Amino acid sequence: MLDGTIRLLEKLCSTSRSHGLMQSDHCVHMALLYKSLSRKVLLTSAAMKRRITTDACQILMSPSLTSIDFPDIWTSSSCSDYSSITKSYDDQQTATVIDGRVIAEEITSGITSEVRRMKNATGNIPGLAVIMVGQRRDSQTYVRNKIAACEEAGIKSEISNLPEDCTEDQVLNALSRFHEDPSIHGILVQLPLPQHLDESKILNSVHLEKDVDGFHPLNMGNLAMRGREPLFLPCTPKGCIELLIRSGVEITGKRAVVIGRSNIVGLPTSLLLQRHHATVSIVHAFTRNPEQIAREADIVVAAAGVPNLVRGSWLKPGAIVIDVGTNPVEDPSCEFGYRLIGDVCYEEASRVASAITPVPGGVGPVTVAMLLLNTLESAKRAHNFA
């Protein structure tokens, strides 16, 4: 089975090379990576055949889940290259723009009023701490936006800036300081972290009651189970649902496709859509015929982290498109030397979809508003304020 996966991967690489989409060295690296990973699984399976014991881990033929957690490696497509598009578009058909900035302002206004009411009643205000590792320009921009939003809403904010080469203990020590600070009600670790740091260990170390990002395993588990309520919903998925509801989109009974399955966005978004009674499919880098699957969706949430992955041909007419992608592309003419583009080719999708979120100005501002709301809710719980 895994050999078949490798052969499929190599075939995809060969096809991609013929279209100029991937570099030969990259394909070789991918094939070697999968052969290396699969060899471990096959050796484990062979060992299980030879020695069956009373240990359940040895009895089963199936490998451990982490051993088959292969990385999703996507092939991007250029929005300026229309050669692969066979469908013609009506230039007069333009999607309604779902303005995330306007919706975020409405939500933030309500948060600001609640912060003021809490301060007048208890003398306390919510507090958010951000741990920033390294000097990624896009991460710095996101953190600036979050701090500015906190200031606007009257929420206290603190930043712990750590160097790119910091140790795991330094990050955990920063977490510990914020855990012990009663004026901090929410802690956010800005992702992605440098590769030498154990992201899972660090995120799992955030105390549940201050996990305003909603990434703690207990929060994720409660999201997945019907009848359970997480302390916090992850901010971006929560924002996606709010965008849909405030735009008058009916979710119940609709067919939704989530493109991407990251622990941060894709997975929790699919779970949250299910909780809202949508019929959900997940498309990932190993999905066969992803374009065909996406074309069946009433609601498409693109969260693969690949610029312009979703073309107009991926959408059925009238679909609702939520573009979570925020991909920095170098642009010297911009203030910070780069600009953001989405996972969806906006120029094409806006001629097919009935409504679409822009990048920037769509999901991003609402995600920040959800972070402020989670921080406010955490502070209310801490101070028994209703």
DSSP per residue, 238-297: HHHHHHHHHTT---TT-EEEEE---TTTHHHHHHHHHHTT-EEEEE-TT-SSHHHHHTT-
Measured between alpha carbons, how far is 117 from 139 in angstroms, rounded to an integer? 32
Please provide the distance, in angstroms rounded to a whole number, between the alpha carbons at the two ends of the chain: 55
Strands (E), the chain: 96-97, 127-133, 156-162, 186-189, 255-259, 279-283, 299-302, 320-323, 327-330, 338-341, 355-356
Sheet hosting strand 186-189, strand order edge to edge: 156-162, 127-133, 186-189
Distances (CA, A) of 58 to 45, 51, 103, 184: 9, 8, 53, 46
Q: Tokens in use for 85?
A: 């598009």
* Tokens, residue 379: 């502070």
Are 25 and 81 in contact by the 8 Å Cβ rule? The answer is: no
Structure tokens given for 143: 């953190």
Sign of CA dihedral 206, 207, 208, 212: negative
Per the CB < 8 A criterion, the answer to whether 231 and 91 are in contact is: no
- What is the spatial distance between Cα 140 and Cα 138, in angstroms, rounded to a whole number? 5
- Residue 340 and residue 328 in contact, taking contact as beta carbons nearer than 8 Å: yes
Q: How far apart are CA 165 and CA 200, in angstroms?
A: 18
Amino acid (one-letter) located at 188: L
Which residues participate in catalysis according to the annotation? 146, 190, 213
| Phi and psi at residue 376, to the nearest 5° | -60, -45
